[in-house]
A and B are shown apart, each in its own frame.
Chain A
């Protein structure tokens, strides 16, 4: 594993081969906003919020830092007018689905995103895949997965597995940037494995 030299936001940074730009930046104390990244999970590159500019031999291109591997002598910019504009639009699009997500509201402040820019389409889930991937990669339970695609893509619990595994785990709940995951779990539970009805108060 040889060392790789690169520059991020004007700072010389050392990285190991095979690292992603995001990891190199984080290692140097440079923050890049992320939504679908989680250090315990394989890179996913789903939300595109971590996009940065890379300059290599005079060419500038946009790359997704959580999946882009470090390279010798590249110059990386994590903020620029263009990047901020892209992040703003991504946030605005996501907020059409999840306008009240605390994570998105904070990011929107930073990037001046207007949560009312696009017509609301309350689907709540922003398809970050954190729940699906955490359950598969870390817990290896596969209790929740994606179904369908494009604008109809949704997460869906497998009732048989969820009934057995989820009550004692729920580790994915705090990962969800919206509250959709909890809502979907409660819905699945009440449809397919309802909790026992509370005992009527005994008459004494």
Chain B
């Protein structure tokens, strides 16, 4: 992400220090992660100390300080999905992708996270990929779904 784009985002929020989180969220959603150079730029422009930016960027799960994969997998570990075997889905996905929750593979293809209830418990166990929910998963189906992503 280049500095011009970062400056545009900051500009949009009138360079208000109180808009820090909004600015970070926009960079995160466009760039999928927050590179150090971007955070430093934001700090300089908004006049917010780097310690504060670092605290906020590590506090909220919405932010990532490492590059994320092209596809985000969320496995629901909420109660309903849990009792219907979410654990086995997670195992299958971990086997298939070679990564654990919170990690990204070396090809930057997938990032894996667990969540606690996606709000569609009747479909459990649920796996979400790039925001699309795949319901009533079995371990082998989850592997099949992942095959369709490039």
Contact = CB atoms under 8 A, between A and B. Distances in A.
Interface residues of A, number: 13
A144 B51 contact: yes
A152 to B, nearest CB: 9
Contacts of A132: 51
Interface in A20-53: none
Nearest to B48: A142
B49 A156 contact: no
Interface string A125-147: 00000001000100000111111
A158 B54 contact: yes
Interface residues of B, number: 8
A148 interface: yes
B149 interface: no
B59 A145 contact: no
A185 B54 CA distance: 17
A158 B50 contact: yes
A-B complex: 10 closest residue pairs judged by Cβ atoms:
A145-B51, A142-B49, A147-B58, A142-B51, A148-B58, A149-B59, A146-B55, A145-B55, A158-B50, A147-B54
27 contacts: A132-B51, A136-B49, A136-B51, A142-B49, A142-B50, A142-B51, A142-B52, A143-B51, A144-B51, A145-B49, A145-B50, A145-B51, A145-B52, A145-B54, A145-B55, A146-B51, A146-B55, A147-B54, A147-B55, A147-B58, A148-B59, A149-B59, A156-B54, A158-B50, A158-B51, A158-B54, A161-B50
Interface of B: 49-52, 54-55, 58-59
